[in-house]
Amino acid sequence: MTDPTIARLVQGFWRAFLDTDAQGPAALDGWVTADVAFRGTLGIAVTGAEGITDYCRQARKVFKDFRVDVGEVIAQGDRAAARLTFSGVHQAELFGVPPSGRRMEYDGMCWMRLDGDRFADVWVMGDAAEWMTRFRELGQ
């Protein structure tokens, strides 16, 4: 059974991630360690709250109204995994597919490691097969 505290921390991190658009790296205060490692679906690895903020900005360049919804969270000890759903309006080229102006949604997962009550490592992976299918559909 997952500790409900960890599930709340995972959900809080993703809310803060999206809040970096308005608040910058300060949105992540209290959620991540100073040297947090973040590897994202776009194939980019960054460090620290500033790096995560830059990553979120890049995602928002590709997807207007970018969202991350947290589904099931499974945790054990200092590790958590969560099912994620990403969505937004495709407004910039991604993986060679020109902007379509259409809303898309795809699934993903994240694996996270806590250091105390802050995340020290976050690894996000979108469902590549689903992306490619959706992006091909958008390109038609």
Burial class (CB in 10 A: 0-12, 13-18, 19+), 5: exposed
Res 138: pLDDT: 62
Mean pLDDT score, 79-88: 95
Q: Which strands, in side-by-side order, build the sheet including 118-126?
A: 45-47, 32-39, 118-126, 103-115, 79-90, 63-76
Output the pTM of the full model: 0.89
First and final C-alpha spacing in the chain = 44
Q: Which residues lie across from 105 on neighbouring strands?
A: 87
Whether pLDDT at 48 is above 60: yes
Rounded CA gap, 115 and 39, in Å?
A: 17
The residues spanned by each domain of the chain are 4-139
Q: What CATH code is assigned to 4-139?
A: 3.10.450.50
